[in-house]
Amino acid sequence: MQKSNTDKKLRTVVGIALFAALAFGVSLVFRFPVMFLTFDAKDAIITIAAFVWGPLSAIPMAIIAALLELVTISDTGLYGFIMNIASTLAFSLTAATIYKFKRTRNGSIIAIYSAVVAVSAVMMLMNILITPYFMGQPTKLVIEMIPTVLLPFNFAKAMLNSAVVVLLYKPCVTALRLLGFAKGSASGSDLKLNKNSVVMLIIGALTLVFAVTIFIVLKFK
């Protein structure tokens, strides 16, 4: 029994480390500038892992991914590092905490879109407190940018991350179960489409289209 618990903990640690590295890899490869802001989908990767290993697992993953960005590709320094962690945790902790207590299709939908609201609100506050120092601009100017640029960007980014979670969670958790990294049994048949899968695919696709539309508007604004 003790050996089994040790193996379980080791698999969890390895899984969290792998997803932290994967989150950084996603932010490294799939990185799209929108005006002076940057979109990446690492929040979705961390949230999928937090759905599997619990909300608190998002904390080390968020810190590791943000730290790797800070010392490699980031050009926003400490300000960007703080904003990075705040954004990721607002999204992943909210979604994973709700899903932990309501592990159903409806629960996952509530979790994901509650996370969109949470990260939009948190980043609006962070923009007021930190962005003026980063941009070297008065707070009043930054506040004026919130409804036209900053809030739409953070909302669209959260929606895109939501779409990625909705579309990729099932195949990811099935693969993790097959490899013994997550609870429960799984087989290739789990990837077959059923009513729930179709509903989630439709929701994910609509969310993706909506978010991309906002980004296009911001890109050519």
Q: What is the pLDDT of residue 64?
A: 94
Instruction: Give the position of tokens 């941009």.
Output: 135
- Rounded Cα distance between 11 and 137, Å, is 47
pLDDT value of position 190: 53
Q: Can you give the pLDDT at residue 161?
A: 92
Report the CATH number that the domain containing residue 94 is assigned in CATH: 1.10.1760.20
Question: 39 pairs with which residues across the strands?
Answer: 32
Name, in order, each residue with C-beta under 8 angstroms of 206's C-beta and a sequence gap of 6 or more: none
- How far apart CA 92 and CA 94 sit, in angstroms, is 5
Query: Which tokens belong to 138?
Result: 């008065």
In the chain, which stretches have pLDDT less than 50?
Answer: 189
Q: How many domains does the chain have?
A: 1
Are 98 and 192 in contact by the 8 Å Cβ rule? The answer is no
- Asked whether the whole model's pTM tops 0.75, one would answer yes
Long-range contacts of 129-137 (CB under 8 A, 24+ apart): 130/79, 130/82, 130/83, 131/79, 131/83, 133/79, 134/76, 134/79, 134/80, 134/83
Range of the domain at 186: 2-28+37-219
And the tokens for 20?
């932290």
| Triad 34, 91, 185: Cα angle to 5° | 120
Backbone angles phi, psi at 6, to 5 degrees: -65, -45
H helices present in the chain, as ranges:
2-29, 42-53, 58-70, 77-101, 105-129, 131-135, 139-145, 151-178, 195-219
Residue located via tokens 């009043």: 140
The reported pLDDT for the residue numbered 158 is 92
Compute the radius of gyration of the chain from its Cα atoms: 18
**Predicted local confidence at residue 176, as pLDDT:** 84
| pLDDT attached to residue 21 | 93
